[in-house]
């Protein structure tokens, strides 16, 4: 059984949590905007996770084009409600009006077919979203839901600056916080500082993107060589998970696992877990340095930006570009893939809609209009 970590009120959370942003699909065609979810495979994966002790299941209103909440509640239906913890999030950035918070919250309970959420987060906070939370009284709104028994533990997920985080941490007595943490973003996205701020404030950390959208499970060949030279017995994904789990204030690590093989490997990594040695931590820092030498776009493929009015296939374009930069494909190969995309860089009208949703703060309109256009077209 996978390790469990003590939380509040005597409850224990599995060190590995199941993220449900990228779901198993029947037709995994990268150019299809919203492929069909494979519910049968999903059930097998949820069963495998549950039977091996995973008890934390994370979803969000917008994941998988709004289908994730219904999906995970459907797959968990056969298990007693009190035997697992369901985490969901309020997308303040999708609330033009204050009353939208209530509408969305009610819809989430209905979609998940539950009476309460165990863990509930303000989704993707940064300075701008936090300002809106303050304006709409989002903290008070969720605290009211807690009083009504509809929320048990209240936290936030975060994609802003260190200064934003300090302000948010000081503003409320949070039960937990979710940050993007992996060996590449430890320095790149200042995850080290974020982790320390939360630890100093006594706030347990839920980790998202531990394998950076899968990129650290199949890293560039220089990183593979480095990791193999230090321990050829474990997978590249295990290196990434072990790095994160070696930090004692980590409560649970969310991984989106679409294959049983991945899940079994992750379960093995986080069962009877022993933290990394200083030498292994140094190897991870060296792997990050090798990755940083490549001039890639730091896109995780989350598709928060997918609702482009001109249909620009943003994440697919960045993925092809990165494949070339990482040496995984030749220039002509990635250009051939680009040719068949039906929303190209030159279709971008620089409306800026995508950039405001990007948790990695990628300057998408500028990149589309300049670097991507001149490389691919």
Using CB under 6 A, which of the segments 34-42, 81-89, 169-177, 313-321 binds ligand SF4? 313-321
CB neighbour class for 153 (10 Å; exposed up to 12, middle 13-18, buried from 19) = buried
Among 151, 217, 287, 305, binds ligand SF4 (CB under 6 A): 305
| Residue 146 near residue 138, CB atoms below 8 Å | no
The reply to whether 358 sits near ligand SF4 by the rule CB under 6 A is yes
The reply to whether 322 sits near ligand SF4 by the rule CB under 6 A is no
Minimum gap (Å) between residue 344 Cβ and ligand SF4: 10
Among 49, 138, 291, 362, binds ligand SF4 (CB under 6 A): 362
- HSE-up of residue 43 (Cα within 13 Å, Cβ side): 7
Choice between 77 and 363, CB closer to ligand SF4 = 363
Q: Between 338 and 357, how does the x/- string for binding to ligand SF4 read (CB under 6 A)?
A: ----------xxxxxxx--x
Give SS3 for 273.
coil
Measured on CA atoms in the order 213, 217, 221, 226, is the torsion positive or negative? positive
Please give the sequence-ordered ranges of beta strands (E in DSSP) within the chain, or none if there are none: 4-6, 12-14, 16-19, 56-58, 85-90, 117-125, 151-158, 176-180, 205-208, 250-255
Choice between 93 and 273, CB closer to ligand SF4 = 93
Minimum gap (Å) between residue 101 Cβ and ligand SF4: 23
| Residue 124 near residue 155, CB atoms below 8 Å | no
Identify the residue whose tokens are 């986080």.
Answer: 270
Minimum gap (Å) between residue 359 Cβ and ligand SF4: 6
306: Cα separation from own chain's centroid: 16
Number of residues that make up the chain: 377
* Chain residues 228-247 in contact with ligand SF4, contact rule CB under 6 A: none
Minimum gap (Å) between residue 225 Cβ and ligand SF4: 27
The reply to whether 300 sits near ligand SF4 by the rule CB under 6 A is yes
Largest CA distance in the chain: 59
- DSSP state at residue 184: T
The reply to whether 312 sits near ligand SF4 by the rule CB under 6 A is yes
- HSE-up of residue 98 (Cα within 13 Å, Cβ side): 9
Using CB under 6 A, which of the segments 8-16, 184-192, 222-230, 306-314 binds ligand SF4? 306-314
Residue 131 in tokens: 């300002």
Residues facing 17 on adjacent strands:
254
Choice between 35 and 365, CB closer to ligand SF4 = 365
Among 301, 323, 366, 373, binds ligand SF4 (CB under 6 A): 301
Minimum gap (Å) between residue 180 Cβ and ligand SF4: 10
Give SS3 for 371.
helix
Cα 130 from Cα 124, distance rounded (Å) = 9
The reply to whether 314 sits near ligand SF4 by the rule CB under 6 A is yes
* Chain residues 11-70 in contact with ligand SF4, contact rule CB under 6 A: none
The reply to whether 94 sits near ligand SF4 by the rule CB under 6 A is no
| Residue 101 near residue 136, CB atoms below 8 Å | yes
Using CB under 6 A, which of the segments 40-48, 80-88, 92-100, 299-307 binds ligand SF4? 299-307
Minimum gap (Å) between residue 304 Cβ and ligand SF4: 4
Using CB under 6 A, which of the segments 115-123, 151-159, 191-199, 310-318 binds ligand SF4? 310-318
Contacts to ligand SF4 by CB under 6 A: 299-305, 308-310, 312, 314-315, 318, 348-354, 357-358, 360, 362, 364-365, 368
């Amino acid at each position: 059984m996978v390790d469990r970590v003590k939380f509040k009120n005597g409850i224990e959370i599995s060190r590995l949590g199941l993220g449900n942003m990228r779901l198993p699909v029947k037709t995994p065609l990268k150019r299809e905007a919203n492929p069909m979810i494979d519910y049968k495979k999903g059930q097998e994966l949820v069963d495998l996770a549950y039977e091996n002790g995973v008890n934390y299941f994370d979803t969000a209103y917008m994941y998988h084009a709004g289908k994730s909440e219904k999906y995970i509640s459907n797959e968990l239906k056969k298990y007693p409600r009190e035997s697992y913890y369901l985490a969901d999030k309020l997308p303040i950035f999708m609330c033009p009006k204050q009353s939208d918070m209530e509408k969305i919250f009610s819809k989430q309970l209905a979609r998940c077919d539950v009476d309460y959420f165990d863990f509930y987060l303000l989704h993707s906070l940064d300075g701008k979203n936090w300002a809106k939370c303050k304006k709409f009284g989002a903290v008070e709104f969720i605290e009211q839901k807690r009083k009504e028994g509809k929320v048990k533990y209240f936290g936030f997920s975060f994609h802003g600056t260190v200064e934003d985080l300090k302000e948010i941490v000081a503003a409320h007595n949070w039960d937990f916080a979710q940050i993007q943490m992996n060996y590449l973003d430890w320095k790149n996205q200042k995850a080290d500082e974020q982790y320390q701020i939360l630890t100093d404030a006594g706030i347990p950390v839920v980790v998202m993107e531990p394998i950076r959208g899968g990129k650290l499970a199949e890293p560039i060949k220089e990183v593979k060589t480095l990791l193999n030279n230090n321990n050829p017995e474990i997978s590249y994904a295990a290196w990434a998970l072990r790095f994160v789990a070696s930090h004692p204030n980590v409560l649970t690590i969310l991984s989106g696992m679409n294959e049983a093989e991945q899940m079994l490997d992750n379960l093995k990594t986080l069962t009877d877990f022993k933290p990394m040695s200083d030498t292994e931590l140094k190897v991870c820092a060296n792997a990050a340095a090798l990755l940083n030498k490549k001039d890639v776009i730091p896109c995780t493929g989350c598709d928060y930006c997918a609702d482009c009015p001109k249909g620009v296939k943003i994440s697919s374009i960045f993925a092809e570009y990165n494949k070339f930069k990482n040496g995984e494909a030749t220039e002509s190969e990635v250009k051939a893939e680009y040719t068949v995309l039906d929303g190209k860089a030159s279709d971008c009208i620089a409306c800026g809609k995508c950039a405001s949703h990007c948790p990695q703060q990628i300057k998408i309109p500028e990149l589309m209009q300049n670097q991507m256009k001149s490389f691919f077209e």
